[in-house]
Amino acid sequence: MDFPTLLQVLDSTVRLATPLLLACLAGLFSERAGIFDIGLEGKMLASAFFSAAIAAMTGSVWLGLLAGIAASLVLAGIHGLASITFRGNQLISGVAINFLASGLTVLIAQDWFRQGGRTPALSGGARFGNITLPFSGPLADVPILGPIYAQLVSGHSILVYVAFLAVPVTWWILFRTRFGLRLRAVGENPAAVDTAGISVVRLRFTAVFICGLLCGIAGAYLAIALQGGFAREMSAGRGYIALAALIFAKWRPWYAMGACLLFGFLQAVGIRYQNLDLGLITIPVQVMDALPYILTVVILAGFVGRAIPPRAGGEPYVKER
């Protein structure tokens, strides 16, 4: 692989890792507060549809982004209501959200647009364009570092930069603020937090809505930045891959970024090399396409070492009287 080809693969890696990273950070906030969220996939899918639909109808990418975030927040509220208020099973609630989003997005898309469950193709102001960073033109001719800056760092949509900026922000919130300390505590020992006079319900709902916000941005990125419109099941299992990346990262923001970039790289390689010739053997296109999902299974099977989730994760909190 020569240097220009490597840059193209890495550029695709960044673009493909962005929705995974946003969803992974979303799950990080939720699970650190003790709320497991299998519904990342459904929230991304709902956001992707409504962002594309509103952008297509209004011609405004920003209204589309707000609509996508709103749709994700509604589903996040449903999950919070089921798992926090009514103390239901968090896994079942998340799976139900995935099924709900999968069916409703296609049904509403067909009713609104009559294009087989798709939205119209987006262009112009209805889609996020790429941003050219300062000095990328003059620096492009500088050996090695110039092409890296001009082709790999520059030239992405604003949501890509938001996603990677969210990593240090998440780390700072969780590990350097009082709110983050309380959020982590409520995922480990909610009774102790309650004894200190802090509302467990409020903290957990806050984490769930932060999760909904980030999932909304992730889904909107798929539809109005990475691709130009909504297609049926376009999230393509990214929510589940994000959960696997979260386990792989052991619930830490910086490790989460590395895990998502690894998954993005595998996707980029699979797209770039449909049939990978290794000399003695040729890896077929089906295996290349399945690489991210194979790694997901390997991670979830526990082959990356023991990952210990927050102790109170998945357990509804019942206040002692």
For residue range 81-119, what is the model confidence (pLDDT) as tens digits? 999 999 999 999 999 999 999 999 999 999 999 998 899
Contact 75, 97 (CB under 8 A): yes
In angstroms, rounded to a whole number, what is the distance separating the alpha carbons of residues 30 and 184?
10
Q: How many residues does the chain have?
A: 321
149 is a domain residue: yes
Extract the residue ranges of the chain whose pLDDT is less than 50: none
Residues 6+ apart with CB under 8 A from 70: 50, 216
pLDDT of residue 302: 64
308 is a domain residue: no
pLDDT of residue 276: 62
318 is a domain residue: no
pLDDT of residue 174: 96
Q: Which domain holds residue 138?
A: 3-300
CA angle 104, 108, 109 (to 5 degrees): 115
The alpha carbon torsion through 240, 267, 73, 90 (nearest 10 deg) reads 10
16 is a domain residue: yes
Within a 10 A sphere around the Cβ of 197, how many other Cβ atoms?
Answer: 6
User: Per DSSP, which regions of the chain are E strands?
Assistant: 276-277, 282-283
pLDDT of residue 109: 95
223's enclosing H/E stretch is none
Q: pTM score, two decimals?
A: 0.93
Token duo for residue 260:
């998502």
For residue 209, the domain's CATH number is 1.10.3470
319 is a domain residue: no
Q: How many domains would you assign to the chain?
A: 1
101 is a domain residue: yes
For residue range 150-165, what is the model confidence (pLDDT) as tens digits? 889 999 999 999 999 9
313 is a domain residue: no
3-state helix, strand, coil in the chain (%, to 5): 70, 0, 30
144 is a domain residue: yes
